[in-house]
């Protein structure tokens, strides 16, 4: 779900940049980076927890 929102904000940032809305593009890009970072951290935590537990978590 977080990755989906990161991609949505990335697309919004690209479209805003094409039309010259620098402030909106910067804000959307920052949100996309933040959401992608959260997604990566949660993925790594789940991966490590699964390796430690030795089984599938979900």
Asked if residue 40 belongs to a domain, the reply is: yes
Domain extent, residue 47, equals 2-53
Helix (H, G, I), strand (E, B) or coil at 42: helix
Domain contains 58: no
Please list the pLDDT of the chain residue by residue as tens digits (58 residues): 667 888 888 888 888 878 877 787 788 888 888 888 898 898 898 888 888 887 665 5
Tokens encoding 37: 């970072």
Examine residue 38 and state whether it is found in any structural domain, yes or no: yes
Total count of domains within the chain: 1
């Amino acid at each position: 779900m977080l990755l989906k929102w990161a991609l949505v904000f990335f697309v919004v940032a690209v479209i805003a940049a094409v039309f010259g809305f620098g402030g909106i593009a910067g804000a959307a890009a920052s949100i996309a980076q933040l959401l992608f970072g959260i997604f990566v951290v949660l993925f790594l935590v789940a991966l490590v927890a699964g390796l430690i537990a030795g089984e599938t978590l979900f």
